[in-house]
């Protein structure tokens, strides 16, 4: 897969994070689609670093890698909200721990279970009430589905979903028009 295809994948699935509208995105890549996935990713790390985006290999197998792209300050604010901290504590996390420790625990849980712990939504910037609703309703009976399942305010979520969709469309259009990926990534 070429650099341009990799950028298109990043833009299509992660534009709201790269454009500074969302604190994090989780993306899965099939490593065999690339001549050298690690080299491809490494070539983007200087851009991500200077724009305030961190990359965590949340889970990895022989064929796939699951990467969390996140803006540490924004994500730390999300997981430190009272309702998020309460939910993390209920799920066995040390809710007072710094973001790096919380992410390490999330990574550990994914490695042990080989599945997505439901609290992962908090690490993607989803509203805590939606994460709690997903857990309590076992993913059923939501008020709205979009970037996540909504159990809280569907009007607020609908507006966010529209914002994210518009962001992704604009980001991808600019990439296709020849704007460099690095120039589309917002610092923050």
Q: Which pLDDT does position 112 carry in this prediction?
A: 86
10 Å Cβ neighbour count for 184? 19
The pair phi, psi for residue 105, each rounded to 5°, is: -70, -40
Pairwise CA distance, residues 188 & 175, whole Å: 20
| pLDDT, tens digit, 9 for 90 and up, residues 52-69 | 999 999 999 999 999 999
How far is Cα 91 from Cα 122, in angstroms, rounded to an integer? 12
Please check the confidence at residue 116 and state whether its pLDDT lies above 90: no
67: phi then psi, degrees, rounded to nearest 5: -110, 135
- Looking at residue 98, its pLDDT comes to 98
Output the six-digit token pair for 26: 């989780």
Query: What is the rounded average pLDDT for all residues in the chain?
Result: 96
Taking every pair of Cα atoms in the chain, the longest distance, rounded to a whole number of angstroms, is 47
Question: Which tops the pLDDT comparison, 1 or 96?
Answer: 96
Question: What pLDDT score does 113 carry?
Answer: 78
Q: What is the pLDDT of residues 141-159, one digit of tens each?
A: 999 999 999 999 999 999 9
CB of 122 within 8 A of CB of 78? Answer: yes
Residue 114, pLDDT above cutoff 90: no
Band of pLDDT at residue 102, cut at 50, 70 and 90 = very high
pLDDT of res. 115: 73
Is the pLDDT confidence value at 171 over 80? yes
């Amino acid at each position: 897969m070429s650099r341009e295809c990799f950028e298109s994948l990043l833009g299509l699935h992660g534009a709201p994070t790269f454009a500074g509208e969302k604190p994090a995105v989780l993306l899965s890549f099939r490593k065999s689609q690339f001549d050298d996935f690690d080299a491809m990713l490494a070539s983007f790390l200087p851009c991500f670093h200077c724009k305030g985006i961190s990359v965590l290999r949340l889970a990895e197998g022989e064929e796939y890698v699951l990467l969390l792209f996140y803006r540490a300050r924004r994500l730390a604010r999300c997981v430190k909200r009272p309702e998020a901290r309460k939910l993390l504590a209920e799920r066995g996390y040390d809710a007072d721990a710094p973001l790096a420790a919380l992410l390490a625990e999330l990574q550990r849980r994914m490695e042990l279970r080989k599945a997505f712990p439901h609290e992962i939504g908090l690490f993607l910037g989803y509203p805590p009430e939606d994460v709690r609703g997903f857990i309590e309703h076992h993913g059923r009976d939501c008020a709205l589905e979009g970037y996540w399942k909504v159990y809280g305010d569907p009007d607020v979520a609908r507006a966010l979903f529209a914002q994210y969709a518009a962001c992704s469309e604009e980001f991808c259009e600019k990439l296709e028009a020849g704007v460099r990926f690095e120039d589309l990534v917002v610092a923050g």
